[in-house]
């Protein structure tokens, strides 16, 4: 049993992480000119999985890279070295995720990754993940503070599911902050779905009431809601008492349901153009 971000991770979840970080076929994003120059077959009809979207930051890809090439390791390695080098460099330039540096990982997975592409960047394949317990915890922990659920001395009796869910990873991408807050407040199954804005707003209207800046952040039952300049909800979290807060930072498979202090969550969520409002759970 591994401990990642203060959370126990069993072998089944670790195996799923390997599949999500290094699927058998992964997408490479290219411009029309690059696809023609490198003679690469494109498949723009194939729908990526939610895990693909989060692993490869598909939501952040340069709009000019409108062609998608799906390759397995064998087909990738059959490409000429110059093509592989250009293709991997293009992923960095186009904003794709999971294109790590050779310098960072050669000491862990071996210096042979220098031969994969241009010698500076590479992509993950399962062949490089023979010791996932050394690699995945580091990747999942990047820019992510640990869950501090083990430090909570008193859990709120009013929200029993918070204790159940705190310090757990979801079974894939999709489950997000909105569903996590709703589940913590007793909405059955909300922790397992991609909760979009509309049902969260409906729940917020039906089960909470707004409170001003004088709201008690140290007591259970205050829902923090961050909105953008268009008043759209962007993030949500729930106070559970004692200065602690329960939330899920994002919909990614790498993002756990965790406990942090109210101050830590506020710092981590500080974003230009976002405004914080508070709602008290009622009923």
The tokens for 158 are 């009013």
Q: CB 276: neighbour CB atoms within 10 A? A: 14
Q: Is the per-residue pLDDT at 167 higher than 90?
A: yes
Write out the CATH class of domain 149-281: alpha beta
Separation in Å, CA 167 to CA 92, 147, 148, 186, 191: 33, 6, 8, 17, 13
Q: What is the pLDDT of residues 2-40, one digit of tens each?
A: 999 999 999 999 999 999 999 999 999 999 999 999 999
Q: Is the per-residue pLDDT at 108 higher than 90?
A: yes
**pLDDT class of 213 with cuts at 50, 70, 90:** low
**112 burial type by CB count under 10 A (0-12 exposed, 13-18 middle, 19+ buried):** exposed
User: Which has the closest alpha carbon to 70: 60, 81, 58?
Assistant: 58
Q: Where in the chain is the domain with CATH 3.90.1720?
A: 149-281
- The whole-number average pLDDT for the span 77-104 is 98
pTM to 2 decimal places: 0.93
Q: What is the pLDDT of residues 59-76, one digit of tens each?
A: 999 999 999 999 999 999
């Amino acid at each position: 049993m591994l401990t990642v971000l203060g959370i126990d991770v069993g072998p089944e979840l670790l195996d799923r992480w390997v599949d999500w970080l290094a699927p058998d076929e992964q997408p490479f994003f290219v411009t029309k000119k690059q696809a023609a120059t490198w003679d690469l077959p494109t498949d723009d009809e194939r729908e990526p999985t939610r895990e693909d979207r989060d692993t490869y930051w598909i939501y952040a890809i340069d709009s000019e890279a409108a062609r998608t090439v799906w390759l397995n390791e064998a087909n990738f390695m059959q490409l000429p070295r110059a093509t592989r080098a250009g293709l991997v460099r293009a992923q960095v330039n186009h904003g794709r995720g999971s294109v790590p540096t050779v310098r960072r990982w050669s000491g862990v997975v071996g210096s042979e990754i220098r031969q994969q592409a241009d010698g500076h960047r590479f992509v993950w394949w399962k062949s490089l993940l023979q010791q996932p317990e050394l690699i995945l915890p580091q990747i999942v922990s990047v820019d992510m503070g640990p869950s501090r659920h083990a430090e909570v001395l008193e859990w709120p009796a009013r929200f029993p599911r918070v204790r159940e869910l705190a310090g757990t990873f979801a079974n894939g991408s999709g489950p997000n902050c909105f569903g996590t807050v709703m589940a913590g407040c007793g909405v059955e199954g909300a922790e397992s779905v991609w909760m979009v804005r509309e049902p969260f707003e409906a729940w917020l209207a039906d089960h909470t009431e707004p409170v001003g800046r004088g709201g008690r952040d140290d007591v259970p039952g205050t829902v923090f809601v961050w909105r953008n300049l268009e008043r759209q909800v962007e993030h949500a979290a729930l106070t559970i008492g004692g200065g602690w807060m329960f939330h899920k930072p994002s919909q990614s498979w790498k993002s756990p349901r965790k406990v942090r202090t109210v101050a830590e969550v506020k710092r981590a969520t500080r974003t230009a153009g976002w405004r914080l409002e508070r709602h008290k759970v009622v009923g």
